Amino acid sequence: MENGYLGKKIIATRLSQLAQCQTHLACQWLRKHSPSFEYETLGFSTQGDRLIDIPLKDIGGKGAFVKELQQALLERKADFAVHSMKDLPLTGVEGLSVSGFYAGENAPFDVLVSAYLHWENLPSGSCIGTSSLRRAVQFLKLRPDCIVRPLRGNVLTRLERLNKGDFNGLILAEAGLNRLQLKQPYDVFELHEMVPAFNQGILGIECRDDDTVSSQLLGNISDRSVALRTQWERTIAQIFDASCKSAIGVYAQVLSCEPLSVHLYIFACKNWDCMQSEDAIFSNLDLAKQWTKEQFDCDHTSWAICQVTFT
């Protein structure tokens, strides 16, 4: 049964193959709940996509992947924008809201893509590619005898560098590989090895606040566990003032919605001498926030900028 009438919408999306694939998945999900839904995409090459030789922190951080899409919404050139939620800054844009949340296969974890498969099999001195401080410090904690070098660009570009022999392995998001249906061999990091980025694997559909019909429908059809995970992880990330300058991992595994039970995993690194991982189960977000502040001594320790460097 149709939950609401959406009609035809213009969808703003990035031009990368993964972004196009994720937009298609999100739109299939929308059509399942609103058969009247039709769409056409409006593609954008964002600043983050164009300036791949510059560290993300130097070109506006996570917002470098979404500004053009959000501007299209504000200028009414588009009705919806589909984002990878991990690319969306913690501070929203006035007049816009993310109302729809979709995870699909629910693969929030990081993986090592390598012919050696598991990280323990890598030869000493192996070169690993990632542009994420969070991934870099957690990997080097496991394998301090390896080298991590910055690597930006879309998933296919990174895999080309791996297959050319520039790297012995890459650390990527499992969700991206699955959605692109790539056959590269990979091994999933366990949570005690690498805590993922907040909202990794979640797609968000953003619309204008004045489009109340669409906003309400998106909220109604979103899976509650995905919406809860999104909220919990973003709330905890805000405590750390997390950004691309941080090395913060947050994963809220929703064990049950009724009654609410969430297993919260957090990793934070300020420098090599100040690094911490904690996990606990909660039934209340306020309790989780208080526990986080106490466990990571957030009143006296700033985790916003990770001082570890790697080349």
**Spatial CA neighbour of 262 closest among 299, 293, 287:** 287
**Catalytic residue selected from 87, 145, 223, 299:** 87
Count of beta carbons in the 10 Å neighbourhood of residue 246 = 23
Is 286 an annotated catalytic residue? no
Task: Return per-residue pLDDT of the chain as tens, 311 residues.
Answer: 345 667 789 999 998 999 999 999 999 999 988 888 899 999 987 665 565 555 555 545 566 778 899 999 999 999 999 999 998 999 889 999 999 999 987 789 999 999 999 999 999 999 999 989 999 999 999 999 999 999 988 899 999 999 999 999 999 999 999 999 988 889 999 999 999 999 999 999 999 999 998 899 899 989 999 999 999 999 999 999 999 899 999 999 999 999 999 999 999 999 999 999 999 999 999 999 999 999 999 999 999 999 998 76
Q: CA–CA separation, 281 vs 255, rounded Å?
A: 9
Can you give the pLDDT at residue 34?
84
Tokens of residue 79, six digits: 């009705």
The domains found in the chain, sorted by start residue, are 8-105+202-222 (3.40.190.10), 110-188 (3.40.190.10), 224-311 (3.30.160.40)
Half-sphere exposure of 88 (CA within 13 A, CB side): 27
Alpha helices in 77-195 (DSSP H): 133-142, 155-164, 174-180
Count of beta carbons in the 10 Å neighbourhood of residue 180 = 18
Q: CA–CA separation, 263 vs 230, rounded Å?
A: 14
User: What region does 61 belong to: left with phi over 0, alpha with psi -120 to 50, or beta?
Assistant: left
Rounded to whole angstroms, what are the CA distances from 234 to 91, 151, 251? 10, 25, 10
Question: pTM for the complete prediction?
Answer: 0.92
pLDDT in tens, 254-280: 999 999 999 999 999 999 999 999 999
Q: CA–CA separation, 18 vs 294, rounded Å?
A: 39
- Cβ neighbours of residue 308 closer than 8 Å, sequence gap 6 or more: 133, 136, 137, 247, 269, 271, 272
pLDDT in tens, 21-77: 999 999 999 998 888 889 999 998 766 556 555 555 554 556 677 889 999 999 999
Strands (E), the chain: 8-14, 38-44, 80-84, 96-102, 110-113, 127-129, 147-149, 169-173, 186-188, 203-208, 247-256, 261-271, 274-282
Tokens of residue 184, six digits: 């590269």
